[in-house]
Amino acid sequence: MTTVTKLSVTGMTCGHCVSAVTNELRTVQDVQDVSVELHVGAESLVRVISKLPLAEAPLREAIDEAGYDVTDVDVLEDAVAAESAAQAPARQANRTLPIVPS
């Protein structure tokens, strides 16, 4: 099972900010991967990938250590199955054959 923890983070403005947050989060036990969607002047979206749900406190502490603030946390357990289910209607739409007039 894969878990995605989405964190909304304020104060990030550049690639250095992204690097600082990524490096701090990678030190948290059981974190497998980190990706950051930088939104200058708004909340950036940080995704933390793990096999099992992570405790929120170490994630917040890591981001605090990097110098930023977490405003929201959302955990999506069994993320692969959820993502696959969300994409199923689009996959079905692509599989229908077009009607060709004779």
Read off the pLDDT band of 78 (50, 70, 90): confident
- Per residue in 66-77, pLDDT (tens digit) is 999 999 999 998
Nearest CA-CA partner of 30 in 47, 9, 53: 53
Cα atoms found within 13 Å of the Cα of residue 69, Cβ hemisphere only: 5
What is the C-alpha separation between 96 and 43, in angstroms, rounded? 39
pLDDT, mean of residues 45-54: 94
* CB-CB contact of 4 with 80 (8 Å): no
Measured in degrees and rounded to the nearest 5, phi and psi for residue 46 equal -110, 125
